[in-house]
Amino acid sequence: ATVPLKCRHDGDAATFVCIPGIGGTVFSYHDIFQRMETPIRAFGLPYPGLTGTVAPMRNIDQIADRFVSHINDEIGEVDFLVGYSLGGFVAFEVARRFARQGKAPFVISLDAAPAVLPSSRGIVKRLMAASDWKKRVEAVLPLGFLLNRGSNTRTLEPIKLIVEAGLDAITKYEVDPAPGVEMLFVQSADELQAWNENAGGWAPLVDSVRSVKFQYGHLEMFARGSKQLAEIFDRLVANRDLEND
């Protein structure tokens, strides 16, 4: 089901739908939308399995199919699809499905780069080390979530299962071109040189892509970068044709 994050009843308000990264929650986006000056509607699409009552999904295409159904049934027309890390690839696949129907939402990829997919297959085991996964999950969870549920290993177990499923999904994912999709690629301060060519690898895959450089690292996008992201989102609502920064 979708999660409302910010609602305006203006008929002209742009609609954002956001998808978290591996192990994250849609509430990580909350501060970004609250900082925006533009009237918008914003919704989140949480990954199945967060409550621990159903098994997480391990296939990006299957997740995208489910999210398209949620959007059609519960939201309607969407202007912007935002995805962080793994969520960027899911947003891309959701947009591909809408493009086949004639109109794709504009995709905002937050540090999701096809150029790093080959290397990601070799680091999955390291990311799931006991000392690492919990640190990475806590970096993208909002403080209120941690205060409410705690951050010990037991309470984070459903999230760990989602992390494992997400890493499994990304190792199996093969990205193909998606005609009709337009995108903004937001690059973190991590490995900018490696990702800089062809907008992180997106350029050959979409109709058009612009890039902006983010001043913080991958794990700091929400904790420290909500103000900069809110400014980027405001600019996009006003004019999607951003010049490359």
Strands of 208-213's sheet in order across: 3-6, 40-44, 14-19, 80-84, 106-110, 182-187, 208-213
Task: Give the mean model confidence (pLDDT) for residues 69-96.
Answer: 96
The answer, yes or no, to whether residue 32 has pLDDT greater than 60, is yes
Predicted confidence band of residue 127 (pLDDT cuts 50, 70, 90): low
Residue (of 72, 73, 71) closest to 82 by Cα position: 71
Predicted confidence band of residue 95 (pLDDT cuts 50, 70, 90): very high
Predicted confidence band of residue 51 (pLDDT cuts 50, 70, 90): low
Task: Give the mean model confidence (pLDDT) for residues 222-233.
Answer: 94
Query: What pLDDT sits at residue 194?
Result: 53
Tokens representing 151? 């951050």
Query: What pLDDT sits at residue 145?
Result: 44
The b-or-e profile of 39-78 (16+ CB within 10 A means b, else e) is ebbbbbbbbbbbeeeeebbbebbebbebbbebbeeeeeeb
Query: What pLDDT sits at residue 149?
Result: 47
Tens of pLDDT, residue by residue over 197-206, are 688 899 999 9
Tens of pLDDT, residue by residue over 145-191, are 443 444 455 556 777 777 788 888 888 899 999 999 999 999 888 75
Residues 6+ apart with CB under 8 A from 141: 23, 24, 25, 28, 151, 159
Query: What pLDDT sits at residue 227?
Result: 95
Q: How many residues does the chain have?
A: 245
pTM of the entire structure?
A: 0.85
The answer, yes or no, to whether residue 58 has pLDDT greater than 90, is no
Task: Give the mean model confidence (pLDDT) for residues 28-49.
Answer: 92
Percent of the chain topping pLDDT 90: 50
Q: Which residues pair with 30 in a beta bridge?
A: none
Residue (of 15, 13, 12) closest to 4 by Cα position: 15
Q: Which residue type sits at 199?
A: A
Task: Give the mean model confidence (pLDDT) for residues 122-140.
Answer: 53
Query: What pLDDT sits at residue 148?
Result: 46
